Amino acid sequence: MLLLIVFITGVGGFHFFSGYSWVDAFYMTVITITTVGYGEVMPLNPMEKIFVSLLIISSIFIVGYAISVITEYILSKNIGILRQKKVQKKLESMHDHIIVCGFGRNGKQAVQKLLAYKKPFVIIERDEEVIDRFSDENMLFILGNAIEDETLMKAGIEKASTLICATPNDADNLFIVLSARQMNKKLKIISRASEETSYKKLKLGGADNVIMPDKIGGDHMALLVVVPDLVEFLDNLTVSGQHDSINVEQIPFEKMCPHGKEQAIKELDVRKKTGCSIIGYISPTGEYIVNPEPSLILEKNSKLILIGRPEQIESLKKEYGV
């Protein structure tokens, strides 16, 4: 609009005060306001002057657009490089963190839980648009393909405690599991699977746990038909980190027996102290015992699972410093 006003004003001024034709006035206005201001190599007729004027005006917009595109490209690359450097700097100080491969539907759900539990994690994602969309939400992203060893190394695979393979492709998940297991023997690997045939392959490849979201969803819907009240009751239980209203908590041996002395469950007297009930025991070898006997001796590196009302869980946390 401003350019149009200048054109109209300039053309009118040149035409009124100098007696030029409107073509001459327009031509002189264009070469003046665009700072071209060149002397003519040869005299131009009116049509040539109009052509040169239009060429100058169109060139301004074309060059301006080109500069904006190039500038945007350079800035986006620099921002991406700076962001990756920032992530790498943070990863240098991280250990026992969690690596999430893929930020699709399952990856997002996993990340939400990790945020709720305040667990350190980094996400490997190959879609730069996804990273640009979510990078401002206090989440660390690494741009790359998780099937590449170099990308896993950037994510700190050697220092990580857990790897979550949440890509939608079973073949990619299998490749990631195989690579990760070779790079870190102690790593806990949890993988997603879509097909039944992929389950055994992922387990053989080194995955500790293989989750099939479709199967879990189908089983859950079927149970809502068979035992709806029981399933709804279990769905209403909240575990640590999910809510302010917690009903289920897991406590390690070190918290229950701070002096390192192995004791029987009845000696702890948890029910009297906090009101919570012990519903499960996880042995150091990973064996699960539901509703353990009061005479059961807690071993080092074992864990207890307790249930109670939110206020009882809070009392439990205060009692054992969780």
Write down the pLDDT at residue 19.
44
Query: Which residue range is the domain that position 33 belongs to?
Result: 2-77
Write down the pLDDT at residue 52.
64
**Cβ atoms of residues 55 and 117 within 8 Å:** no
Residue 163 lies in a domain: yes
| Bridge partner residues of 143 (DSSP) | 125
Task: Give yes or no: residues 201 and 287 share one domain.
Answer: no
Write down the pLDDT at residue 48.
64
Boundary of a domain, candidates 77, 111, 130: 77
Task: Give yes or no: residues 116 and 186 share one domain.
Answer: yes
Residue 186 lies in a domain: yes
Write down the pLDDT at residue 132.
80
Split into its structural domains, the chain has a count of 3
Residue 85 lies in a domain: no
Write down the pLDDT at residue 149.
93
Boundary of a domain, candidates 151, 183, 218: 218
DSSP codes, 170-206? HHHHHHHHHHHHHH-TT-EEEEE-SSHHHHHHHHHHT
Write down the pLDDT at residue 42.
53
Task: Give yes or no: residues 107 and 43 share one domain.
Answer: no
SS3 (DSSP) at 211: strand
Task: Give yes or no: residues 23 and 58 share one domain.
Answer: yes
Residue 33 lies in a domain: yes
Residue 236 lies in a domain: no
The CATH number of residue 34's host domain is 1.10.287
The CATH number of residue 211's host domain is 3.40.50.720
Residue 312 CB contacts under 8 Å (≥ 6 apart), including other chains: 274, 275, 276
Write down the pLDDT at residue 3.
46
Does the model's pTM come out above 0.85?
no
Write down the pLDDT at residue 36.
63
Task: Give yes or no: residues 262 and 301 share one domain.
Answer: yes
Residue 83 lies in a domain: no
Type and span of the H or E element at 318: helix 310-320
Write down the pLDDT at residue 77.
57
Please calculate the CA angle 266-271-274 and round it to the nearest 5 degrees: 130
Task: Give yes or no: residues 206 and 313 share one domain.
Answer: no
Write down the pLDDT at residue 18.
44
Write down the pLDDT at residue 138.
73
Task: Give yes or no: residues 159 and 119 share one domain.
Answer: yes
Task: Give yes or no: residues 66 and 19 share one domain.
Answer: yes
Write down the pLDDT at residue 320.
87
**Cβ atoms of residues 192 and 146 within 8 Å:** no
Task: Give yes or no: residues 133 and 198 share one domain.
Answer: yes
Q: Over its length of 322 residues, how does the chain's per-residue pLDDT go in tens digits?
A: 444 444 444 444 444 444 446 566 566 666 655 666 555 545 666 676 676 667 667 767 777 777 777 776 666 655 556 666 776 777 788 889 999 999 999 999 999 889 888 889 999 999 888 888 887 667 888 888 999 999 999 899 999 999 999 999 999 999 999 999 999 999 999 999 998 889 999 999 999 999 998 888 888 888 889 888 888 887 777 665 545 566 888 899 998 888 888 889 999 889 999 999 999 999 998 899 999 999 999 999 999 999 998 888 889 888 888 7
The CATH number of residue 284's host domain is 3.30.70.1450
Task: Give yes or no: residues 101 and 178 share one domain.
Answer: yes
Please report, in angstroms and rounded to a whole number, the separation of the first and last CA atoms in the chain.
66
Task: Give yes or no: residues 42 and 139 share one domain.
Answer: no
Identity (one letter) of the amino acid at 241?
G
Write down the pLDDT at residue 280.
93
Boundary of a domain, candidates 201, 218, 235: 218
Residue 232 lies in a domain: no
Write down the pLDDT at residue 15.
44
Write down the pLDDT at residue 80.
58
Residue 54 lies in a domain: yes
